[in-house]
């Protein structure tokens, strides 16, 4: 979907202010939420890894966190709890964390 619209919203311009970045990222994430290939896009970005921009609805920092979480799950040998990502939803993340705590596992996505 990003390829049919304004792709600049997915990448930070030079010297972007925090408020501008927050608005731009929120807009990009709304596009990603509706994207039919969001999960594949995210997996691609994590596999390369893509260094910049929003991919699969996650920012660079969010993808780095996701990669760390997955590596952690791999080293513990426990299967990660995979939950659908609802972008920006703290409530869903809370459910996933609670489920992982009950099962003694970690949240992967
Ligand atoms: S999920 Fe990926 S392909 Fe889809 S709109 Fe977002 S960045 Fe573009």
Task: Decide if 20 is inside a domain.
Answer: yes
Please give the residue range of the domain that contains residue 61. 2-78
Q: How far is the CA of 90 from the centre of ligand 1 (A)?
A: 21
- b/e code 71-91 from CB counts within 10 Å (16+ = b): eebeeeeeebbebebebeeee
Task: Decide if 41 is inside a domain.
Answer: yes
Check if the beta carbon of residue 84 is closer than 8 Å to that of residue 59: no
- Residue percentage of the chain with pLDDT more than 90: 56
CA atoms of 42 and 63, how far apart (whole Å): 8
Residue of the nearest CA to atom 8 in ligand 1? 2
Task: Decide if 49 is inside a domain.
Answer: yes
- Residue percentage of the chain with pLDDT more than 70: 70
* pLDDT digits 0-9 by tens, 33-56: 999 999 999 999 999 999 999 999
Task: Decide if 100 is inside a domain.
Answer: no
Task: Decide if 107 is inside a domain.
Answer: no
Q: Above 80 in pLDDT, residue 77? A: no
| 90-101: average pLDDT | 61
Task: Decide if 90 is inside a domain.
Answer: no
> CB within 6 Å of ligand 1 — which residues?
1-2, 10, 31-32, 35, 37-38, 41, 54-57
pTM: 0.69
Count of structural domains within the chain: 1
């Amino acid at each position: 979907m990003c390829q049919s619209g304004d792709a600049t919203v997915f990448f930070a311009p030079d010297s972007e202010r925090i408020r501008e970045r927050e608005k731009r990222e929120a807009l990009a994430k709304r596009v990603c939420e509706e994207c039919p290939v969001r999960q594949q896009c995210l997996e691609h970005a994590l596999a390369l890894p893509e260094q910049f921009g929003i991919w699969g609805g996650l920012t660079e920092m969010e993808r780095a966190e996701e990669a760390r979480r997955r590596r952690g799950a791999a080293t513990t040998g426990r299967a990660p709890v995979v939950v659908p990502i609802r972008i920006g939803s703290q409530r869903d993340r809370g459910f996933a964390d609670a489920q992982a705590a009950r099962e003694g596992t970690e949240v992967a996505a």
